[in-house]
Amino acid sequence: MADDQQQASVKFDRVQKSFGSVKVLEEFNLDVDPGEFLVLLGASGSGKTTALRILSGLETPSGGQVYIADRNVTDILPKYRDISMVFQSYALYPHKTVGENIGFPLKVRKVEKDVLNTAIVDAAKQVQLENLLERFPRELSGGQRQRVALARAIIRRPSVFLMDEPLSNLDAKLRGHMRAELKHMQETLGITTIYVTHDQIEAMTLADRVAVLEKGVLQQLAPPEEIYNDPANLFVAQFIGSPPMNVIRGSLEGKNFLTNGAKVKTPVTGKVEKGILGVRPEDCSIAPASSKALNGTIYTTELIGDHALVTVDWGDDQIAVKAPKDFKGRQGDKIGVVLPSDALFVFDETTGYRIR
């Protein structure tokens, strides 16, 4: 399947967008390779959906150019861009049957009836809907509606897929299932896909590369493991990971980070008056209170299942630690937290920049 598909690259060149005085995108640059699965990750209001809508042509940029397959499409109508999009709300046509919904993109292109019907059945088979073609959207479950939207997007074999939070209306279990299916389908079809989400797990699991956006600015563009292991700045560090990275305020002097009267050895050197020490909960460990650890009191303990999450008060901050599931500490107990010297990140609190 993948080889007969025309794979297209996508390029945002200094794209800007403002609504009145509100700047939603500032100088947005992004290169997407042919056949890549790229996830635009960001909180609501970060400009990720706007970027997608500019690429689809539903929104015009205030400045900059957009390219699909090296063709400048900035001023081209959506229907000539050879893209298809899955909306968060699915946007199924309620007065059309499943089959008519799936076939709509071909029908408006005046495809012959028998070709159309074969294509509908083919697309429906790919999402296991071939028995529901006569139903109406209102007679389907949420997951089935999602599949109809997907089938409608793939029937035309576009150069680029756009997906705007397609899984966020599904319940947790179905979401996991559809995620795997989506990834499998994209890999099989090999179509360049741009996927917008606020869910970092979706981003980590689906993406070839993740683009993290915040306040209209691209924070980091990297494969998931790099985003996780080597965050470019404080925002990315805090946004990725569940539970999020611990943030410990203090100051950096030389190789040592001073916080709440304690001294922690860091892998970096420098001098920062207001600094932040970042460390992931799973890299920390619990130990009896001692001079080698940061000593605090337990704020709360939560049993997650395969591990226990222990939150420890440390000065004005809290440190979350993944502890073994048989951890028996109780609220108010004195406890020590051991930080690994090789998995520490130091940030400048005022700018958010990473100190390397």
Partner 1 sequence: MSDASFKFEKHQRSLMERLFEPPAIGKMSPVAKVVAYTFLAIWSVFVLFPIYWVIITSFKDAAAVNQGPFYIPFVDFQPNLDAWRAQFNDDRFCDIPAIGRQLYLLVHNSFAYIVSPVFSITPMEPQICKIYLAFTNSVVISIAATALCVAVGSMAAYALARMTYRPKFGNILVFVLLTIGVIVVTTYNGVPWWVSTAVALALFFFFVRSLGKHFKMSLRNNDILFWIISQRILPPIVVVIPVYVMFQAVGLLDTHLALIVLYAVANLPIVVWLMHDFFVNLPIELEESAQLDGATRLGIFWDIVLPLTRPGLAATTLLILVLNWNEYLFAVFIATVKVQTMPIMVAAKNAGEKGVFWWEMCAVIVVMIIPVIIMAILLTKFISKGVLQGAMKG
Closer residue to partner 1 in complex, CB, 137/250: 137
Question: Partners of 249 in the beta sheet?
Answer: 276
Q: How far is the CB of 180 from partner 1 (least distance, A)?
A: 18
Q: How far is the CB of 171 from partner 1 (least distance, A)?
A: 8
Instruction: Decide if 292 contacts 305 (C-beta within 8 A).
Output: no
Question: Partners of 196 in the beta sheet?
Answer: 40, 164
Q: How far is the CB of 141 from partner 1 (least distance, A)?
A: 7
Closer residue to partner 1 in complex, CB, 78/315: 78
Q: How far is the CB of 79 from partner 1 (least distance, A)?
A: 4
**Who's near 328: CB < 8 A, 6+ residues apart?**
none
Burial 116-150 (b: 16+ CB within 10 A, else e): beebbbebbebbebbebbeebbeebeebbbbbbbb
Closer residue to partner 1 in complex, CB, 143/352: 143
Closer residue to partner 1 in complex, CB, 92/321: 92
Closer residue to partner 1 in complex, CB, 87/327: 87
- For residue 279, which of 338, 191, 210 has the smallest C-alpha distance? 338
Q: How far is the CB of 152 from partner 1 (least distance, A)?
A: 7
Q: How far is the CB of 138 from partner 1 (least distance, A)?
A: 3
Question: Partners of 169 in the beta sheet?
Answer: none
Helices 113-126 and 142-154: crossing angle, nearest 10°?
130
Closer residue to partner 1 in complex, CB, 145/354: 145
Helices and strands of the chain, counted as H and E runs? 8, 19
Q: How far is the CB of 132 from partner 1 (least distance, A)?
A: 13
Tokens 């100051």 belong to residue: 251
Cβ–Cβ contacts within 10 Å for residue 270, how many? Answer: 14
Alpha carbons within 13 A on the beta-carbon side of 68: 27
Closer residue to partner 1 in complex, CB, 59/253: 59
- For residue 31, which of 9, 48, 47, 51 has the smallest C-alpha distance? 9
Closer residue to partner 1 in complex, CB, 72/141: 141
Residue 117: both structure tokens together: 């019907």
Closer residue to partner 1 in complex, CB, 158/224: 158
Q: How far is the CB of 206 from partner 1 (least distance, A)?
A: 20
Tokens 């605090």 belong to residue: 296
Q: How far is the CB of 57 from partner 1 (least distance, A)?
A: 8
Binding positions for partner 1, rule: CB under 8 A = 56-58, 77-79, 83-85, 87, 89-95, 104-105, 108-109, 136-143, 145-146, 152, 156, 169-170
Q: What angle do CA 208, 213, 219 make, to 5 degrees?
A: 85
Spatial distance between the Cα atoms of 209 and 107, rounded to a whole number of angstroms: 34
Neighbour-count burial of 3, counting CB atoms closer than 10 A to its CB (0-12 exposed, 13-18 middle, 19+ buried): exposed
Question: Partners of 107 in the beta sheet?
Answer: none
Closer residue to partner 1 in complex, CB, 117/169: 169
Handedness of CA 92, 164, 178, 309 (dihedral sign): negative
